[in-house]
Structure 1
Amino acid sequence: MDWKTAINDFKNYLQLERAMSINTVDAYLNDLTKLQQFADPRSLSPAEITSKDLQEFLAWINGFGLSAYSQARILSGIKTFYLFMSLEHGLLENPTALIEAPRLGRKMPDVLNIKEIDRLIDAIDLSMPEGMRNKTMLEVLYGCGLRVSELVGLKVSNLFLDVEFIKVEGKGSKERLVPIGTQAIKHLCIYLNEVRVHQKIKSGYEDFVFLNRRGASLTRVMVFIIIRDLANKIGLKKKISPHTFRHSFATHLVEGGADLRAVQEMLGHESITTTEIYTHVDRDYLQSVITQYHPRS
């Protein structure tokens, strides 16, 4: 089987059988394309790749200065491909079986404190037409811990504000119910009933909550730009993105004593180990404990 056929079959497998999102599928295919770029000059088909070839491939991509995280992600995509080849095309020997990923340290996500979140939201100019929309978006991002894709894809028909829940579509088109707080509900009601109701909506976008000036749904890039501009406006030195609000949501819940399983459910994590990264404790708090309680302090 040649690379083109194998990649196309793998794409169909990821989309149809694994029900992965477009972005996730693209990431897997990009990883596989790198292996193809390595294999083509050596005249190696997918089935001819050996463990030794993969070791050379890892050394090859390391030469491009990729981080250990990037290399581990690429290898993970290739492992998934060869698992597919074994299951669907009867490949007898999986060349990735004995390949180990680079050792990774646990990377702590950037988190905003409550004062920083308040400053960002307060910096929004409500006199502008998009002001209330932007304020509502940040309240929902922080109040529900959504991914940016879940935010821009949020539907009016999936808002159950009377019972304080919203339904979102997460990774792999998996739906989940997420509780929503009173502040986010208040701003959603203002935006929907006093701003969005007066907007001319483009055909096909009637059910999307957050709309751009042309009446279509917002893009993920636009949300990034809005948050970046607000951070610049208040002189925030941290490098933040929409995902920072999700990290902050989870961190503040865990630090406040929330059950980790409940946080996992709200974030839509398949594995509890993904959620456990939020159990890191603030260093200033640890220092205060030592100062207050240790006899030598």
Structure 2
Amino acid sequence: MEKEFLTLIQKNFPIARRPFAELAETLGSSEKEVLDLYRALKEQKVIRQTSAIFDTKSLGYKSSLVAFKVENIEKAAAIINAHPGVSHNYERDNPYNLWFTIAVAPDSKLGLEKTVEILAEKSEAESFIVLPTKKMFKISVQLDVKGDRAKKEKLKRAKKEPMVLEPVHYEMIKGLQKDIEPMKEPFKALVEALGIDYETLASEAERMKKAGLMRRFAAILYHRKAGFTANAMVVWKVPEERAEAIGETVAAYSAVSHCYLRPVYPEWPYPLFSMVHGKSKEEVESIVEEMAGEIGIKEYNYLYSTREFKKVRIEYFSPEFEKWEKRVVGR
């Protein structure tokens, strides 16, 4: 039941009065048994967080992947991690040794580029490259804990339905970002604070999904505890005229959780980025070799993470963004 449960909640955790009871019904179990399992998997650090996964760009934030070349990596990582828009920060096996994702708020006074420049200066980076998304083919971290997914899967892209956010939606976003605790009614405090019922919470969350504001409400796992001990950011040197077709092919592999086209630089000729997960380094490299054969690309590079400095969900519409900017500009 554990594997079935983890598969379910990675796809969708119900937004309902008694979500664990709904999950129990699907699993043919009891609410207590499912609650106890969830609590145990949280304590064992198999489940990292269960909350809404929002689309940064759709909420008005500007974001990018950034790579720094630094001497004192611990000092640089601490400086970078202090920014509230940094969600991921890793040491990677490359001359550009510190890789992080950063977002700045819609009302940022500094903007993305200036913020990165300030971080580079403070962390004494020798050089850096800014790698915003030019085209996103896939973003979906759902680990195949059961081992029954097909090697390749058809990518689904639903047509977005426009939605205008009202004040209640911003409060919903703040509340739905919070991690789900192991209790019978984990959304009770939120519906009471918003003064709405569970049906409204669920229906408005569904509207945000259809608008592309929320990708899904689901659990994210600790990869290693879930059995996926290896992952690599694989970057590909692909010809511009074939880049989109190749990106679609790579993204179709179920072992790939992220796949993007990004800018190139004289010192960085790799426009296609893919995150590949496996239960061993050998499995990851076997998948990559198969992909390389299919797409006919011989120039690619593995960027293995050697240390994780930060991995969190961004708290959207938090006052911490404005506080950070005021602090760094000295007023």
Provide the TM-score with structure 1 as the length reference: 0.23
Provide the TM-score with structure 2 as the length reference: 0.21
Larger radius of gyration: 1
Does 1 or 2 have the higher relative contact order (CA < 8 Å, sep 6+)?
A: 2
